[in-house]
Chains A and B, each alone.
Chain A
Amino acid sequence: METAIEFKNIKKSYGEKVVLEGFNLSIEKGEFITIIGSSGCGKTTALKMVNGLIHPTSGDIFVDGENIRNKNQTQLRRNIGYAIQGSVLFPHMTVEQNISYVPNLLNKRDKEKTKNAVSKWMKIVGLSEDLKHRYPSELSGGQQQRVGIARALAASPDILLMDEPFGAVDEITRRQLQAELKQIHEQTGITVLFVTHDISEALKLGTKVLVMNDGKIEQFAKPEDLLRSPATEFVKELVKKERRTCYLPEDQLSSCEFSGTSGKVSSFDAR
């Protein structure tokens, strides 16, 4: 398998304060990585390093085998979808203008192509065509998230970075969005990095889960491995509740399937 993103010996500190240290991680193409950890442990920092919004104090990051230091940051970012909490739509642009923002940065000429991309992505994220000319303030929370996802994907990037994108929507909408995102991932084969503080969301969506604590990696494994054999006390504590929702005795936990597609995963989150 090809490596999509690689963190090599990353250290990040703000003055005295060390946020990340000895951070090594290799992410393969087409993976859906969920990143979970206590608040302030450096999840956002790690994510923003991929698209160059934050530069490491030392160490290197490779995207598609190329050190991003040597890349034009703007070009790099245009190839990486980016969706953050609350989706942060541009309030002065319509749904259509929001979604076509990146395609317009890439090529202003080909209006037809952009238009088709907007329609296609609106359909995929489940937005009806007649919302095109609405402004963000005229949309529900769930609709806003969908626009946010469509906007991040509209230029068909190879990598998608998402920082707690579903943090502010209600439970039902969140479950719909999760299912849609999962489907998009399966259909496009895009590499996804998804930060969450909800362990059930992390287990449900991720093909691999990265558990972080205090700037270090606790465990990087498939969801079922995380449940089956937590590497540290921290991980054990984190997945304790999720293990119990299997209603299986300790010794039989290995037969509990925690794939995100099973649909059996509890929606009681770990917060």
Chain B
Amino acid sequence: MLQEMWFIFTDRIDFFLKLLLEHLEISLISILIAILFGGLVGILISEFQKTAKPTLGVINFLYTIPSISMLGFLIPFSGVGNATAIIALTVYALLPMVRNTHTGITNVDPAILEAAKGMGSTRTQILFKIKLPLAMPVIMSGIRNMVTMTIALAGIASFIGAGGLGVAIYRGITTNNTAMTMVGSLLIALLALIMDVLLGFIERRMNKRSVKAKKTNKVMAVAAVIVCLGIAGSVLINTQQKDTIQIATKPMTEQYVLGEMLDILIEQDTNLNVELTQGVGGGTSNIQPAMETGEFDIYPEYTGTGWNMVLKHDGLYTEDLFDELEKEYSEQFNMKWVGMYGFNNTYGLVVRREIAEKYNLKTYSDLKSAASNLTFGAEYDFFEREDGYDALCETYGLNFGKTMDLDIGLKYQAINQDKIDVMVIFTTDGQLSTSDVVVLEDDKQFYPSYICGNVIRAEVLEEYPELNTVLEKLNGLITDSNMAAMNYSVETENKEPRDVAEDFLRSHNLLQ
């Protein structure tokens, strides 16, 4: 495992470094806001003690909201991406900041405060000359806790499309790449540790009171500020070189591969820069709103999903409705469907090849006569869903001899071991490409069609017409079994989505 982690780390060092920088950026912005705002609130509630209890109550309450729900609440207001992540992180960072500032200030010896007052200090002078300097050690330890917490918490930011090392973790999870998840987690821990050591060092320097130490502190503070400005400057310069296309993908293996293909092709064929946000948590429900606000420009979507979830039609989608789909997208959202990949990621039924040959099965209807001799397998929820098992059997008049509940991770194993004969699948399942099964034809169109294509904002297409040429190249490029094979490469052979995408494009002569 360690070896694998080391390998993936050295192999993709640029990727990890970029995430590390993003992680640092998101965390530091949140930390900075929390220090300023939380410090201010902490000071105010110490000066006006009556407000302390209710304020701390509210902040304590916010603190108890689970981070995932917090992100969920925020998405309707601030969309997906870094802004939401920063807001959420700031909210969590507020509590330790406010509480420690308040504790630090209220614990200053009242005799000292009375002395200061008796000597004729104004309230402001007491605050800045006496209270704050004396509260500083407590405030600093609060900051120290808060910083490590924020860095750790920033790991979940990627669930809503923000950058940072969480991207590696999440991608590792969705594409079954444990080493990547581990490297991402380890880097977060390491970052938190380094920051903690750094702050500990600053804390110790600040507590040194000799004149010489103070001078050294000043020199070091100035140096630190210069370094920070340098980094911030170079980040800004780096990110604003070219026109940037924002591409999002859903948290599905095949979308990671498609995202990489778009990235590779657009950067190869145009002068545009691509910013790829892989695996946005919540998929369509979070990406579509971000497309509408212009945060994202392109993302791969499925026609059936667009019809039901985005346009909110109830009925079953078939490809006859594609013109209508395009029209409504254009009218309602000013978005276009361009570059239809060709594959259809829908539900399907497979039977073992042996069985297919024995009963001569080609379509779902063919199953009718054989069903009573066959065992049917599917995930638990398929038997519960309205458009699941019962509806399927009714439409085709099927009556299976036996049914079996299966775990989604184990169902291919079950059919390969002949435990079941018929099984529900997704047509681009990676393991489909290595199983000895036959996919049957949905001759009565029981399942909606989920053809994959790119949704793009029309404005972007107008501004950069060269994108059209690139996206057109994708038309009909990928078949169901192509996609299944690529999913297999990523999920089972642990190849990088980018490498898989590159191999595929190369074999179709699309790479220069």
Contact = CB atoms under 8 A, between A and B. Distances in A.
Interface of A: 48, 51, 53, 74-80, 82, 84, 86, 88, 90-92, 94, 101-102, 105, 133, 135, 151-152, 161
B114 A84 contact: yes
Interface stretch (B116-124, B174-182, B286-294, B384-392): B116-124
Binding site of A, secondary structure by majority: helix, strand, loop or mixed? mixed
Contact of B115 (A75, A88, A133): A88
A91 B134 contact: yes
Contact of A77 (B119, B133, B134, B209): B119
- Most-contacted residue by chain A among B109, B112, B115, B130 (CB, 10 A): B115
Interface string B91-132: 000000000000000000101101111111110010001100
A105 B121 contact: yes
B435 to A, nearest CB: 73
25 contacts: A53-B114, A76-B120, A77-B117, A77-B120, A78-B119, A78-B120, A79-B120, A80-B120, A82-B118, A84-B115, A88-B114, A88-B115, A90-B112, A90-B115, A90-B116, A90-B129, A90-B130, A92-B209, A101-B116, A102-B119, A102-B120, A105-B119, A105-B121, A133-B211, A135-B209
Contacts of B115: 82, 84, 88, 90
Contacts of A94: 209, 211
Given A90-B112, A92-B133, A105-B125, A51 B211 contact: no
Nearest to B125: A105
Interface in B454-500: none
A182 to B, nearest CB: 23
A228 to B, nearest CB: 36
A84 B111 CA distance: 9
Contact of A75 (B117, B120, B121, B125): B120
Given A51-B118, A74-B120, A90-B129, 15 more contacts: A48-B118, A53-B117, A74-B121, A74-B122, A77-B120, A79-B120, A84-B111, A84-B114, A88-B109, A88-B115, A91-B112, A92-B209, A105-B120, A133-B210, A151-B119
A161 B111 CA distance: 15
A87 B122 CA distance: 20
A77 B109 CA distance: 20
In this complex, the interface size class of chain B, counting residues with CB under 8 Å from chain A, is 20 to 34
Nearest to A77: B120
Interface string B345-388: 00000000000000000000000000000000000000000000
B111 A82 contact: no
A51 B120 CA distance: 9
Q: Max chain B CB contacts within 10 Å: which of A86, A88, A102?
A: A88
A218 B125 CA distance: 40
A92 to B, nearest CB: 5
A92 B209 CA distance: 8
Nearest to A135: B209
Interface string B126-158: 000110011000000000000000000000000
Contacts of A151: 119
A29 B437 CA distance: 111
Nearest to A92: B133
Contacts of A74: 120-122
A90 B111 CA distance: 10
Identify which of B117, B125, B211 gathers the most chain A CB atoms within 10 Å of its CB. Answer: B117
B387 to A, nearest CB: 71
Complex A-B, nearest 4 residue pairs according to Cβ-Cβ distance, in ascending order: A78-B120, A77-B120, A82-B118, A88-B115
A48 B117 CA distance: 11
Contact of B134 (A82, A92, A135, A152): A92
Contacts of A84: 111, 114-115, 118
Nearest to A82: B118
Contacts of B111: 84, 86, 88
Contacts of B120: 74-80, 102, 105
Contacts of A161: 118
A152 B120 CA distance: 11
Contacts of B129: 90, 101
A101 B122 CA distance: 13
Contacts of A75: 120
Contacts of B118: 48, 51, 53, 77, 82, 84, 161
A51 B116 CA distance: 12
Contacts of A102: 119-120
Nearest to B132: A92
A105 B112 CA distance: 16
B62 to A, nearest CB: 33
Contacts of A133: 210-211
A102 B112 CA distance: 14
Contacts of A82: 115, 118-119
Contacts of B211: 94, 133
A51 B115 CA distance: 11
A144 to B, nearest CB: 13
A48 B119 CA distance: 12
Nearest to B109: A88
Contacts of A90: 112, 115-116, 129-130
Contacts of B209: 92, 94, 135
A165 to B, nearest CB: 12
A114 to B, nearest CB: 14
Contact of A101 (B109, B117, B119): B119
A92 B130 CA distance: 8
Interface in B434-465: none
Nearest to A76: B120
Nearest to A163: B118
A75 B209 CA distance: 32
A80 B119 CA distance: 7
